[in-house]
Amino acid sequence: MLKKYVYFFGNGKAEGNAKMKNTLGGKGANLAEMTSLGISVPPGFTISAEVCNHYYKHSEKYPDGLKEEVEKNLSELEETSQKKFGDVENPLLVSVRSGAAISMPGMMDTILNLGLNDKSVVGLAKLTDNERFAYDAYRRFIQMFGDVALGIEHKKFEQEIEAIKEKHDIELDTDMTINDLKELVERYKELYKREGKEFPQDPLKQLWVAIDAVFGSWMNKRAVDYRRLNKIPEDALLGTAVSVVSMVFGNMGNNSGTGVAFTRDPSTGEKLRYGEFLRNAQGEDVVAGIRTPESLEGLKKVSEEAYNELFKIFDVLENHYRDMQDVEFTVERGKLYMLQTRSAKRTAMAAVKVAIDMVDEKLITKEEAVMRVTPDHVDQLLHPMFDPHEKKRVIEENKLIAKGLPASPGAAAGKVVFSAKLAEEMGTNEPVVLVRPETSPEDVAGMVAAQGILTARGGRTSHAAVVARGMGKCAVVGCEAIDVDEESKEFHVANTSVKEGEWISIDGSTGEVFVGNIKTIKPKGLEGNLSTLLEWADEIRRLGIRTNADIPRDAKVARAFGAEGIGLCRTEHMFFQNDRIPAVREMIASETKEQREKALSKLLPIQKEDFKGLFRVMKGLPVTIRLIDPPLHEFLPKEEKAQKKLAVDLGISFDRVKEIVETLHEFNPMMGHRGCRLTITYPEIAVMQTKAIILASIELKKEENIEVIPEIMVPLVGHVNELKYVKNIITETADGLIEGSGVDLKYLVGTMIEVPRAAVTADQIAKEAEFFSFGTNDLTQMTFGFSRDDSGKFLKDYLDKGILKVDPFKTLDKDGVGALVKMAKEKGRSVKHDLQLGICGEHGGDPESIKTVDEIGLDYVSCSPYRVPIARLSAAQSALQLNQQK
Amino acid sequence: MLKKYVYFFGNGKAEGNAKMKNTLGGKGANLAEMTSLGISVPPGFTISAEVCNHYYKHSEKYPDGLKEEVEKNLSELEETSQKKFGDVENPLLVSVRSGAAISMPGMMDTILNLGLNDKSVVGLAKLTDNERFAYDAYRRFIQMFGDVALGIEHKKFEQEIEAIKEKHDIELDTDMTINDLKELVERYKELYKREGKEFPQDPLKQLWVAIDAVFGSWMNKRAVDYRRLNKIPEDALLGTAVSVVSMVFGNMGNNSGTGVAFTRDPSTGEKLRYGEFLRNAQGEDVVAGIRTPESLEGLKKVSEEAYNELFKIFDVLENHYRDMQDVEFTVERGKLYMLQTRSAKRTAMAAVKVAIDMVDEKLITKEEAVMRVTPDHVDQLLHPMFDPHEKKRVIEENKLIAKGLPASPGAAAGKVVFSAKLAEEMGTNEPVVLVRPETSPEDVAGMVAAQGILTARGGRTSHAAVVARGMGKCAVVGCEAIDVDEESKEFHVANTSVKEGEWISIDGSTGEVFVGNIKTIKPKGLEGNLSTLLEWADEIRRLGIRTNADIPRDAKVARAFGAEGIGLCRTEHMFFQNDRIPAVREMIASETKEQREKALSKLLPIQKEDFKGLFRVMKGLPVTIRLIDPPLHEFLPKEEKAQKKLAVDLGISFDRVKEIVETLHEFNPMMGHRGCRLTITYPEIAVMQTKAIILASIELKKEENIEVIPEIMVPLVGHVNELKYVKNIITETADGLIEGSGVDLKYLVGTMIEVPRAAVTADQIAKEAEFFSFGTNDLTQMTFGFSRDDSGKFLKDYLDKGILKVDPFKTLDKDGVGALVKMAKEKGRSVKHDLQLGICGEHGGDPESIKTVDEIGLDYVSCSPYRVPIARLSAAQSALQLNQQK
């Protein structure tokens, strides 16, 4: 038996349906579905995308029997429409359209009015009682067919029109007479000949040439490029389908017209009919934008019946598809035809409102509502955005000067400053954007004061990126195209220079950098509808959501966003503030254990208060505190001037300061003396930090009756003995304090899993750990051997050349890093079945990574405060998807 | 039934034997064995080390029944020796000795003459007919017992002697009269009382106090420290055994004496009786070194019978133990007693000769011979060593000033120079040692010219270490104690300064740094015996042995040492030579692909000739060539002066050079833009290198009829797509050239596995690779997250604190890195069963790592030329050990 390749629809019956998008394309599938729903759709048939697949697999041959099948369907179409292809009395005209499962620019779009020839044009004239209309349609068809199907340059057709207009001294196309149009038809035929082509008079031949053209367009450069750029693998789709639909005409006079509409307002989500209508026009006129369309009320004036039917259809479609629809329709002499329906694109605000409303309307379940909103939608609602009109304008004005990595979402405009200090000074009075080669902890105060941060170097997990995300502040990083000249206080990009004080605007969601001041729109925040939706998400998700927060301000934001604990408190971030950095530096400069302990004793009360602040905010929720992690050189000033001052402050020689800096210099600090390696060399630091944590907990319990669940986390463990050694210091210190306090305090000791060896030997490590928290930034770094601060240089090439599909610092690499996480989970749980498992890398806020982590079976994700709402949604979506897979 | 804890030996029968070292200690086991062999050994018994184990597991209590068992054995001993403990006529005297399975300083050594008391001393006097001897023995016993068993300070006993000598105006101890000695005995007893102790008159009580003392000494500080420093885990041994042996006296007159002997010469291995003999003396006199011993011929003069018997015993022992023995013996009144035998310590030269000779003598098999020589022995034979006497002298003179990492074995002395340039200049005329903070490729010529290299920074796999090993040149690296001041041309260590031009001596096998010029001994090289032994090793080993070599000179050395191919040729090392570095720099400074290709075209003929040189040496053997690996900045000069010159050379501005250097700067270059990442960005480099490899192969085949098996290796692959991309460039380039040449050339394309992700996804990568070569330097680095250049700082702490047992850059970490290698092997072979697997990291030359690799089942190891002989031996030993385990 031959395989079925062609699917007919018409007269209320269809062989296809909406689920067959893969074979019929979105357009064909929905035309079939609407037909079956009894909606008025012009009849037609769709040639399956499997034909396209066969075509390319068999050196551009069609499968056996296709010709016969198409012709059979054509006969059926003639019968249904009671017209005949090429007929001089009552000709059948069709449109031929391409359409794949997902919308894809670059392929051949549409040929209208196919079936016209020297005979049938006469029939059309009779049928419409409008000879001018018929010849205009004919010459348009010849032109479109030549251009789209045969590749004759569009402008050559235009030249013929110009020639006629010149000859007859006409100004507008519409001023051409019937005879002019007839002459144009002849001139077009001549043009074909000059180009070595022939205009086929046989409509069947026309049809096959058009079908060839559609399938041929699947592999044209634009389409291939589009798939490459959008990371659609060549084998993800079968190819394109071809829909052949009988023509209806919206330009048959004042009782005709055409329009597009949304079943709800795509900007706000309100349940308002929304659309545009153009009387006496065809679809292409709407697109061309020559005439300004009316609102849908215009349709009412043309035909109240059609108007009412359209709205009835809206209800039918929404009830059937259970989603907001975006439709195209045509009214031919008062009769409404639907030409397309699809799920409508919408803004973030609309997406949330529509989802919530449809649950209220009992159209969809809460679970479906949760699936309808994307993480990007949530992100948009939480950050400032550029006014889209303004942004469009500046792009047209060529003010987009560079593109970096979109490191922290949102939009910002401000005056360029090149130093954190100046940012602090100016930032209180006017908006500034801090532009740095890269940032370091010294720049944090300046980052707080700035509207946004732009760096020339560093990746998505660089200092600038991590800190900015923590603050919910817009940042573009690793913008290698810009060359920052701090001395002359300007940055260069290509031939442009931007001086300190000039305005720039940056988009942290796209990585774009503009010169000039683009207006931004304030975020909506976690208001009613979004809040409701996320509560539903909370009911669905299995994963816990914690936050990465170092200070009470961030912790508060995260709590308001729904965080259920702190998954990562980076204690060293506390060390950079002005009141404590001197003691930290004194500690680093110490030559003996005693000196070091003296300096640490100054830090103890400060750090204890820090922890009390955090614990108060997270009342009763777990707080994971990581012991000191970065290499010590990060706490020392880099500039000679500051180093000289430090020498004075510490009462030591400048030479000694230089010596310390020199000693602490490392070739590869990321793999150097940091993490638990520091506390192994200087156990007294772990003692101080443990004291601060435990004393803070005890005091809060005694004085304010606040429950604290501290989880003390040892970073950068690769060998169980490292954890054993540091854990011993922690428990000795903590147990002593707790015993003496008379308070019953539970605390956990666990480790980050961020070194590959830790994952490989997780069974050994689990014996000493009460929890694992996967530090997937470092784990990604070391598993790939990609320095996160340097990888910007080559990752771009990797993505461009398709070597990697996504930036592994953005989305967790499932095959490599994910496999290690899974291995660690399995090995860890094999030893300790209740081992608590979480992830605290930047991936904790990335939807796809959250799904990977959910699938692996960790207990929670922890992410920066502004990602918490996104994580809540993503975790719920992941749970629903995983459930479905089961 | 009670467990047996005490083992008797005497009268030609013994309950123990030589295999029971673990329970009887080395000494006890061999005394038993010799007894069974019919050799004259004083009778005695050994208390098992299991008692020691029980003692510490049960809060210092002995197992039930031990007391009775010891007393039973004591009775048997009395019977056998026909003497009685504490007897006034014929007293039994014993020595009490500790002894564990392995020799361990720090424990209680020996108590002699136990059993003497106020009564038995009279018996001894009668028995020996020498009252003075008896009382001298008595006072010595009281002294030793007080000191060793009861902890009374040694010097307090000396003070009593001094007091008597002063009182009687005597100068020498030997001038003391019998009465003096009797007085001394009384004074000693008084001393015991003053110290709150009592000297037990009951010999049985003496014995139990002595046994307590031996078991107590197992956990004393010195013994615990020794085990910690020598990485002997506390649970590796049961504890110490106690041997109680009846006394024989070498000091009973001129027909008595004592000696130590070797069955062959321990320095040369020649079959010469070798030893020392002291007439009328006890063992402690030999050790004390007061009198100069005679050769063994001295024994002949005392007793020809004993002399002949000793040599008969030598044969018995060698035939029985099938190894060279180190014995202690005593002659009491003409009768020979053997007090100890053990496998003799020997020099490298002796070890090899003895092994070979014993095979000739059919004493041992070739397999046993191969197990008898250690890799360290082989290493010693290949490198210069310090004259041991000279070295001892300078240590006594406190000239050992620092200790770094022993990075490349051998010894060197020379004048200090601080720059590679000066090393080149001076090095041709006189020996120099290059001292640098760290080395870089710019220093290579200076390293060639120097006798040795000393760096303040870097680990075992740092540039200095790797390059020095490749050259077989002595190097000490990461000597953090020294502070190199290049400006003032001196280095400081503690309070010492060493100026340029002063002599230092460094030992690359131990890491020691001395001031002054220590005489070195030239290495023997791969002469007769060693060569024979390694041929036997070759017959036994399963693993192939290749070498890491970049230039023909190294390749030749490696071939002479038995390498079976090149496992790693680092092409970039070729780039640093004077005739090519300009083109390399031109390539780096290129702004367009065309400029880059132009520069590369200059390198092509040079690199082609390089490969031809290597291929000629390795005729017909496989040569694995790694494409360019290091980050490009390594090829640029670091100093401003050189950068200015570069600007002139390249005809570009100094600013542009600075800009290039700045652009190439990386925070963590080890994880930066290097390895295949370079060829992905600049495919034209891979094209040039492939051309050079393939053209060299084709030309050699055509012009010189030399077979070449090039294996092209892509470095730093972490994702299969990286390999796919580069492989595609290689095969396109290579296949085109081969096709055009008319020559039939086979080549392989494979990858290094040095990034953890490559191991985790090895099944994916194996689809594109014909071989894997494990780059365990980088793999260790990234698996641990230890920068090999920076880890010196904390690894010392790790080793000192027992967190790591060995430096993972020296010995492959089995649990972590090894597990990844195993995973990669299994995953890789699951996809491609004949996938070729090797290791080319520095571990390839480390005996323990070779065993790990053999166990995992790789095909070959590749190591630096001077490690090839060691690897051959180690691979054979591994094969034998693994066979035995089966």
Instruction: For chain A, say whether B816 makes contact (Cβ under 8 Å).
Output: yes
**A594-625: pLDDT as tens digits:** 999 999 999 999 999 999 999 999 999 999 99
pLDDT of residue B286: 64
CB–CB contact A785 B671 (8 Å): yes
Least confident of A302-311, B62-71, B472-481: B472-481
Rounded mean pLDDT of B121-128?
90
**Least CB-CB distance to A680: which of B764, B798, B813?**
B798
Q: Which residue of B has its CA nearest to A808?
A: B719
pLDDT of residue B468: 87
Q: Which residue of A has its CA nearest to B482?
A: A663
* Cα B845 to Cα B870: distance, rounded to the nearest angstrom: 7
In A565-584, the residues whose Cβ lies within 8 Å of chain B are none
CB–CB contact B798 A671 (8 Å): no
* Cα A696 to Cα A740: distance, rounded to the nearest angstrom: 14
For A79, residues 6+ apart whose C-beta sits below 8 A from its C-beta are: none
Which chain B residues are Cβ-neighbours of A671 within 8 angstroms? Answer: 668, 670-671, 781-782, 785-787, 790-791
pLDDT band at B1 (very low <50, low <70, confident <90, very high): low
Which chain B residues are Cβ-neighbours of A824 within 8 angstroms? Answer: none
pLDDT band at A134 (very low <50, low <70, confident <90, very high): very high
Asked whether this complex has an ipTM greater than 0.90, the answer is no
pLDDT band at A528 (very low <50, low <70, confident <90, very high): confident
Q: Which of B485, B673, B753, B791 to mutate to test the interface with A (most CBs of A within 10 A)?
A: B673
- Looking at the whole model, is its pTM more than 0.95? no
Q: Indicate if the pLDDT at residue A35 is higher than 80.
A: yes
Which chain A residues are Cβ-neighbours of B718 within 8 angstroms? Answer: 783-786, 816
pLDDT band at B288 (very low <50, low <70, confident <90, very high): low
* Cα A834 to Cα B73: distance, rounded to the nearest angstrom: 56
Q: In chain A, helix, strand, coil percent, each to 5?
A: 50, 15, 30
Which chain B residues are Cβ-neighbours of A667 within 8 angstroms? Answer: 669-670, 787, 789-790
Residue A456 contacts residue A486 (beta carbons within 8 Å)? no
Which chain A residues are Cβ-neighbours of B797 within 8 angstroms? Answer: 680-681
pLDDT of residue B290: 60
Residue A30 contacts residue A342 (beta carbons within 8 Å)? yes
Closest CA of chain B from A491, distance in Å? 14
Q: Of A706, A811, A707, A720, nearest to A762 (Cα)? A: A720
Rounded mean pLDDT of A201-224?
92
pLDDT band at A290 (very low <50, low <70, confident <90, very high): low
The mean pLDDT value of chain A amounts to 92
Instruction: For chain B, say whether A106 makes contact (Cβ under 8 Å).
Output: no
pLDDT band at A273 (very low <50, low <70, confident <90, very high): confident
**Least CB-CB distance to B782: which of A782, A817, A819?**
A782
Place of tokens 């520095």: B842
Instruction: For chain A, say whether B681 makes contact (Cβ under 8 Å).
Output: yes
Question: 3-state secondary structure string, B520-543?
Answer: EECCCCCCHHHHHHHHHHHHHCCC
**B699-725: pLDDT as tens digits:** 999 999 999 999 999 999 999 999 999
Q: How many CA atoms lie within 13 A of B836 on its CB side?
A: 19
Instruction: For chain B, say whether A665 makes contact (Cβ under 8 Å).
Output: no
Name A619's bridge partners.
none
CA distances to A172, A246, B309, B333 from B304, in Å: 138, 127, 8, 12
Which chain A residues are Cβ-neighbours of B669 within 8 angstroms? Answer: 667-668, 787, 790
**A618-654: pLDDT as tens digits:** 999 999 999 999 999 989 988 888 899 889 988 899 9
Instruction: For chain A, say whether B805 makes contact (Cβ under 8 Å).
Output: no
Q: What is the DSSP string of B32-72?
A: HHHHHTT-----EEEE-HHHHHHHHHTTT-PPTTHHHHHHH
**B428-459: pLDDT as tens digits:** 889 999 999 988 877 888 998 999 999 998 77
Q: Indicate if the pLDDT at residue B230 is higher than 80.
A: no
pLDDT of residue A285: 67
* Cα A405 to Cα A478: distance, rounded to the nearest angstrom: 6
Which chain B residues are Cβ-neighbours of A818 within 8 angstroms? Answer: none
Q: Which of A455, A457, A628, A794 to mutate to test the interface with B (most CBs of B within 10 A)?
A: A794
* Cα B368 to Cα B679: distance, rounded to the nearest angstrom: 49
Residue B383 annotated to the active site: no
Which chain B residues are Cβ-neighbours of A719 within 8 angstroms? Answer: 784, 803-804, 816
* Cα B9 to Cα A880: distance, rounded to the nearest angstrom: 78
Instruction: For chain B, say whether A817 makes contact (Cβ under 8 Å).
Output: yes
Q: Indicate if the pLDDT at residue B289 is higher than 70.
A: no
Which chain A residues are Cβ-neighbours of B721 within 8 angstroms? Answer: 802-804
Angle between helices A593-617 and A552-560 (to 10 degrees): 30
**A681-720: pLDDT as tens digits:** 999 999 999 999 999 999 999 999 999 999 999 999 999 9
CB–CB contact A672 B725 (8 Å): no
Name A862's bridge partners.
A546
Beta-strand ranges (E) seen in B685-776 are 709-714, 748-753, 771-774
Which chain B residues are Cβ-neighbours of A764 within 8 angstroms? Answer: 815
Q: Which residue of B has its CA nearest to A819?
A: B760
**A456-474: pLDDT as tens digits:** 987 777 788 888 887 888 9
**Least CB-CB distance to A667: which of B681, B721, B789?**
B789
Q: Is B108 helix (H, G, I), strand (E, B) or coil?
A: coil
CB–CB contact B671 A783 (8 Å): no
**Least CB-CB distance to B761: which of A760, A778, A816?**
A816
Q: Which of B439, B457, B482, B671 to mutate to test the interface with A (most CBs of A within 10 A)?
A: B671
Closest CA of chain B from A786, distance in Å? 5
Which chain A residues are Cβ-neighbours of B677 within 8 angstroms? Answer: 794
Which sequence positions of A are flagged as catalytic?
463, 840
pLDDT band at B752 (very low <50, low <70, confident <90, very high): very high
**A147-164: pLDDT as tens digits:** 989 989 989 999 999 999
**B796-834: pLDDT as tens digits:** 889 888 899 899 999 999 999 999 999 999 999 999 999
Closest CA of chain B from A514, distance in Å? 23
Rounded mean pLDDT of B129-150?
92
Q: Which residue of B has its CA nearest to A778?
A: B785
CB–CB contact A794 B673 (8 Å): yes
For residue B614, give both structure tokens.
């290597």
Closest CA of chain B from A728, distance in Å? 13
* Cα A441 to Cα A421: distance, rounded to the nearest angstrom: 13
Q: Indicate if the pLDDT at residue A1 is higher than 70.
A: no
Closest CA of chain A from B645, distance in Å? 24
In A36-55, the residues whose Cβ lies within 8 Å of chain B are none
Q: Indicate if the pLDDT at residue A287 is higher than 80.
A: no
Closest CA of chain B from A817, distance in Å? 7
Residue B474 annotated to the active site: no
Q: Indicate if the pLDDT at residue B233 is higher than 70.
A: yes
Closest CA of chain B from A672, distance in Å? 6
Count of pairs with CB atoms under 8 A, one residue in A, one in B: 176
Q: Indicate if the pLDDT at residue B861 is higher than 90.
A: yes
Instruction: For chain A, say whether B656 makes contact (Cβ under 8 Å).
Output: no
In B682-741, the residues whose Cβ lies within 8 Å of chain A are 716, 718-719, 721-722, 725
